A and B are shown apart, each in its own frame.
Chain A
Amino acid sequence: MAKGDPGGTTRSRRAAPRSKKGATGDPELVQLLTPEGERIDSATGPDGTEYRVDFTDEEYRGLYRDLVLVRKLDAEATALQRQGELGLWASLLGQEAAQVGSGRALRTQDMAFPTYREHGVLYCRGIDPIMPLGLFRGVDQGGWDPNEFKFNMYTIVIGAQTLHATGYAMGITMDGKVGTDDGEAAIAYFGDGATSQGDVNEAFVWASVFNAPLVFFCQNNQYAISEPLERQTRVPLYQRAAGFGFPGVRVDGNDVLASYAVTRTALDNARHGQGPSLIEAYTYRMGAHTTSDDPTRYRIASEVESWQAKDPILRVKAFLEKQQIADAAFFAEVDEQARREAVHLRERVLTMPDPEPVTMFDNVYPNGSPLLDEQRAQFNSYMESFEGSAH
Chain B
Amino acid sequence: MATETLTLGKALNTGLRRALETDPKVVIMGEDVGKLGGVFRITDGLQKDFGDQRVIDTPLAESGIIGTAVGLAIRGYRPVCEIQFDGFVYPAYDQIVSQVAKMHYRSGGRLSIPMVIRIPFGGGIGAVEHHSESPEAYFAHTAGLKVVTCANPQDAYVMIQQAIASDDPIVFLEPKRRYWEKGPVDLDAPLSDAYPLHSARVVRPGTDVTVLAYGPMVRTCLEAATAAAEDGRELEVIDLRSLSPLDLAAAYESVKRTGRAVVVHEAPSNIGLGAELAARITEECFYSLESPVLRVTGFDTPYPAARVEEEYLPDLDRVLDAVDRTFGW
Contacts and interface: CB of A to CB of B under 8 A. Distances in A.
B126 interface: no
Contact of A171 (B67, B76, B94, B104): B76
Interface stretch (A52-60, A119-127, A143-151): A143-151
B63 A198 contact: yes
A152 interface: yes
Interface stretch (A7-15, A202-210, A298-306, A340-348): A202-210
A142 B72 contact: no
A362 interface: yes
Nearest to B59: A205
A328 interface: no
A141 B70 contact: no
B267 to A, nearest CB: 20
Contacts of B75: 167-168, 171-172, 175
A304 B112 CA distance: 43
A97 interface: no
Interface residues of A, number: 43
Contacts, number: 138
A146 B110 contact: yes
A203 B99 contact: no
Given A141-B108, A146-B110, A147-B74, A205 B67 contact: no
Given A166-B71, A168-B74, A142 B59 contact: no
Contacts of A162: 67
Interface string B47-71: 0000001000011010110111111
B166 interface: yes
Contact of B112 (A165, A167, A186, A366): A366
Nearest to A370: B245
B167 A366 contact: yes
B135 to A, nearest CB: 20
Contacts of A293: none
A336 B163 CA distance: 55
B59 A168 contact: no
B143 interface: yes
A178 to B, nearest CB: 13
Contacts of B167: 366-367
Interface of B: 27, 53, 58-59, 61, 63-64, 66-77, 79, 91, 94-95, 98-99, 103-112, 114, 143-144, 146, 166-168, 198, 244-247
